[in-house]
Amino acid sequence: MEKYYKILYYLNQHPFENQRSLAKGVEMSLGQVNGLMRQLQEEGYLEKRDGAFRLTAKAEEFLEHMTRQNQTGRLIFEKRREKIHTAVILAAGRNPNFDCPVGLLKLEGVPLIERTLRMLTANGIDDVYLVTGSQKEQYEEYLKGRGVTLVNNPRYKWNGTMESLSMVRDLVKDDFLLLESNLIFEETAITALLEGDDANRLVLTAPSGSKDEAFVELDSRQNLFRISKDIHQLNRIDGEMIGLSRISLALYRKMLEYFSDNQNPMLNYEYVIENIGRIYQIRGIMIDDMAWTVIEDQELWRKARELVYPKIQKRERLRRENRARETFSRCMKIPEEHIEKFGISGGMTNTNFYVKAEGKEYILRIPGACTDIMIDRKSERHNGALASDCGINVPTLYFDADTGVKVTRYIPDAVTLNGKSARLETNIRKTTRLLRELHRSELPLYQEFSVQREYEKYKKLIEKAQASVYPEFQEMDQAFYRLLERLEEIGTDRLPCHNDLVPENLILDADGRLYLIDWEYSGYNDPMWDLASHLLESEFQPLEEELFLQYYFEGDAPEASREKIRIFEILQDILWAAWTIAKEAQGEDFGSYGRDRLRRGKQAYEKLFEIR
C-alpha cells in the first residue's frame, strides 16, 4: 500500500508526463512503476484519458485515508484554469445594533453592498448570489432588477454561516469568491484572490483587535493549519481571517459532504474549511497593511466612516493613478520618472488622464468597466485613425484595441463645447461645416451603426441582469419598432457618421479649429442621426435649430430630413434610456438621467404622431 500511496500522491502533486519521469519522481525502477500502474488501473485507482493518467474517486478516498494516517503532506485540489465569474455573499444574520442590514449602511450615499458589487463587476465577476435572512425585504427592494440572485435562509436565527453557504448548492457550478456582507475593504483583496494558481485562498491580515477575530495559524508552506477565535489554542498567530475567500468547486463539494450529516446547526463555514484543510492544501495569503474593517457595532461603524473609508479612498485613487501612469509609460515607452504631471481629466464611462512627459502633453484614456461588451474597439481604432488623418479627430498616438487604452495628443488651451456654447452661431457654423466634411468624406469606416442592433444589445444586457425597467419602457419599446417602420417608408442614407454628437465631443483649439473626438460608436449611418444627436444633446431651441439646419443644408432643410431628425431624436432617447438601465444594473448611478430621457422621448413621440 505504501508504494500505491507513493505513486498516487506523486500524481496528485504533479501533472503526468510519462512513466519514466514518474519513476524518477518516486525513486523506483521503470519496470516497477509500469507494473504498479497496471495494478492501479486494474484495481480502479487510475484511469487513462486523453493519453494521461487521472486519479479516480477511489484513489482520492485512499489518499485521504492515508494522509490522515501519516500526515506526510496535503493533497491538492485539481487546479482550474477558468476565470472566476461567480461570487457568493453571506448576508443572512441580524445585527441588533442597526436598523437595516449592515450591507445597506451607506458611506457617502453608497451602500456597502453596492461598493462590493462594483468591485466584483470591475473584476469580471457578474454571477452573484446573495444569501439573505434578516430584513431580507430591504435587500430585495434595493437589488430589484440588478441581476443579483437572492437566496433566503429562513432559519438564519438558529444556524451558522455554513447553513447559509449550503443554500446555494444547486446554483453554484464553478469556483467562486466567498464574501461576508459586513465588511469594507480595499479592492486589492479581490485582486489577490483572483491572482495565482492556488485553487483555494483565504485573505489574511494582521489581527485587527475587533471583538470577533478568527485567528489563523499556517504551516511551513503557508497552507491553513488551524483557525480559532481563542488565541490560546494556536502555537503562533499568522494572521486574521477576515471573511474573503476563493473557494474551488471541489472544496465546496467537500464542505457540503462534511456538512451533510451535521448535528450542530450553528457551525460556521470557516471551521469546515479548517477541517478539510487538514488534508487538502488551502492557501493563506497575507495582505500587509490593508485598510479594512468588519462592522459589528456602532464603534466599528464609526471607525469605518471616519478612518477606514477615507484611507481606502485615498489609496485606491493613488493606486488607480499609479496603474494609469504605468500604463502610459508602457504604451508610450516613456520612463515613469520622465512624467512631469499626471492627473484625472474627467470622463463619464471612461477615465481620462492629463499627462505631461518630456515636455509634451497627452490625454490617456482608460476604459470603464464592461465597456468592452458595448463597444467594438477595433472599429473605433480604425475609424478614429481615418478621422485623425483628415483632420476631423485629434491626432491619436496609441490605441490598443484589446484593452481600449488610448493616448491622444493634448490640445493646448482647448475649450470643450457645452450645450450653451454649441448653440452660439460661430460654433454652429464650425460644427455644421465639420459634419458636412465628415458626411461627404467617403471614409471607408468599419461597421454599420444600427440603432436597432445597439438597442437590442442593451435589451439583452437588461434581460440577463433581470434589471428593473422604467414605467414607460414597455410602451416605448413598441414605439421604437413603429418608428423603425416609418424610417423604412421614408428611406435612409448610408454615409460616414460619428453617432455620438454630444457637445462635449467637440473641442476648439487655441486657433479656433474644431475637432470631433471619441469615435466609439462611429460607423455608417444616416447623417440625420448626427444632426439629431447634436440638436437633442445641446438642447437647441426652435429658432437655434432652424439656424443650424440652414447652415448644414446651405438652405432650407428637406421635409423628409426634418422628419428623420425628429424620429432619430426619439430613438436616441429610448436607446440611451436602455443604455442607462443596463449600466445601472452593473451598479452605476445616473440619477434621473434615463427616466428623463424616456419621458422626453415619449412626449416627442406623442407629438410626432399627433402632427402626422
User: Per-10-residue mean pLDDT for the chain, 612 residues long?
Assistant: 87 88 89 91 89 89 80 70 90 94 94 95 92 96 90 95 97 96 95 88 86 84 86 87 94 95 93 91 90 94 94 88 92 94 78 92 84 81 95 94 92 91 97 98 94 93 85 93 96 96 94 94 97 96 97 96 97 95 81 92 90 54
- Let me know whether 129 and 231 are in one domain: yes
- Let me know whether 468 and 589 are in one domain: yes
**Dist CA 86 CA 80 (whole Å):** 14
**Dist CA 583 CA 597 (whole Å):** 15
- Let me know whether 129 and 221 are in one domain: yes
- Let me know whether 92 and 38 are in one domain: no
Does residue 451 form part of some domain?
A: yes
What is the per-residue pLDDT for 225?
87
Length of the chain counted residue by residue: 612
Does residue 351 form part of some domain?
A: no
Q: Write down the H helix ranges in 333-450.
A: 371-374, 377-389, 419-422, 425-439
**pTM of model > 0.75:** no
Does residue 393 form part of some domain?
A: no
**Dist CA 269 CA 592 (whole Å):** 41
Sheet of strand 339-344: strand arrangement: 339-344, 351-357, 360-366, 406-409, 396-399
- Boundary (domain end) residue, out of 281, 296, 311: 296
What is the per-residue pLDDT for 233?
86
CATH of the domain at 187: 3.90.550.10
- Let me know whether 517 and 476 are in one domain: yes
- Boundary (domain end) residue, out of 296, 325, 348: 296
- Let me know whether 500 and 525 are in one domain: yes
Burial 470-496 (b: 16+ CB within 10 A, else e): bebbeebeebbeebeeebeeeebeebb
Burial 427-460 (b: 16+ CB within 10 A, else e): bbebbbebbeebbeeebebebebebeebbebbbe
- Let me know whether 556 and 499 are in one domain: yes
Q: Which three cell numbers stand for residue 186?
A: 480595499
| Three-class DSSP category at 172 | coil
Contact 17, 24 (CB under 8 A): no
Does residue 605 form part of some domain?
A: yes
Contact 191, 120 (CB under 8 A): no
| Structural domain boundaries, residue 118 | 86-296
Local structure of residue 266 (DSSP, 8 states): T
- Let me know whether 284 and 176 are in one domain: yes
CATH of the domain at 491: 3.90.1200.10
- Let me know whether 56 and 112 are in one domain: no
What is the per-residue pLDDT for 424?
96
**Dist CA 360 CA 338 (whole Å):** 11
Does residue 286 form part of some domain?
A: yes
Does residue 525 form part of some domain?
A: yes
What is the per-residue pLDDT for 372?
64
Contact 243, 94 (CB under 8 A): no
- Let me know whether 438 and 471 are in one domain: yes
Query: CA-CA distances (angstroms) from residue 33 to 73, 286, 479, 549?
Result: 21, 40, 73, 85
**Dist CA 448 CA 347 (whole Å):** 25
- Boundary (domain end) residue, out of 243, 277, 296: 296
What pLDDT, in 10s, does the model give residues 323-358?
899 999 999 999 999 999 998 876 666 789 999 999
* Number of structural domains in the chain: 3
Query: CA-CA distances (angstroms) from residue 550 to 77, 81, 527, 553?
Result: 71, 60, 15, 5
Count of CB atoms situated within 10 Å of the CB of 17:
11
Q: Which three cell numbers stand for residue 190?
A: 479581490
Does residue 305 form part of some domain?
A: no
Local structure of residue 268 (DSSP, 8 states): -
- Let me know whether 181 and 37 are in one domain: no
| Three-class DSSP category at 599 | helix
- Let me know whether 66 and 90 are in one domain: no
Does residue 241 form part of some domain?
A: yes
